[in-house]
Amino acid sequence: MTAFSTDAFHSPLDKKLNKTFWFGEEVMKSLEYFEGKQLDLFKSLMRQSIDLFIAEAVAQNPEAYSKQYVSEFENFFPFHFSYIRKRKDQFMPYNGFLLTAIEEIVFSESAILT
């Protein structure tokens, strides 16, 4: 059980997901203090990763959030969440793609620094 899944059975996770999103925003802001040849690419991949994490949390588990939250959240996406759930198997091969790309950048940067 995670902090999210434990609470999902007691009350909607709307506020908890919002806090997670804003935490991610603060992490993104802190990246401005770092330097690196691939920093812009790294930030772009991190942004996509955070956005996909948040969207997938709501799309794959709508019962864990209030109906209004899911409805309002879904308005920001080009696909209905029901479509995403139906096509989950098609998206599976790409699962982890962003994380792999981020790891490659981080490890190639650290190899250059050593």
pLDDT in tens, 90-110: 655 555 555 565 566 555 655
pLDDT score at 33:
85
pLDDT at 111 > cutoff 70: no
CA distance 15 to 96: 26
| Letter string b/e over residues 50-63, b meaning 16 or more CB atoms within 10 A of that residue's CB | beeebbebbbebbe
pLDDT at 11 > cutoff 70: yes
pLDDT digit string, tens, across residues 56-95: 888 888 889 999 999 998 888 777 777 777 766 665 555 5
Average pLDDT rounded to a whole number, residues 3-19: 78
pLDDT score at 54:
84
pLDDT score at 94:
55
**Residues 55/70, Cβ–Cβ less than 8 Å:** no
**Residues 9/20, Cβ–Cβ less than 8 Å:** no
The one-letter amino acid at 84: I
pLDDT digit string, tens, across residues 33-53: 888 788 888 888 888 888 878
Using only C-alpha atoms, the chain has a radius of gyration, in whole angstroms, of: 16
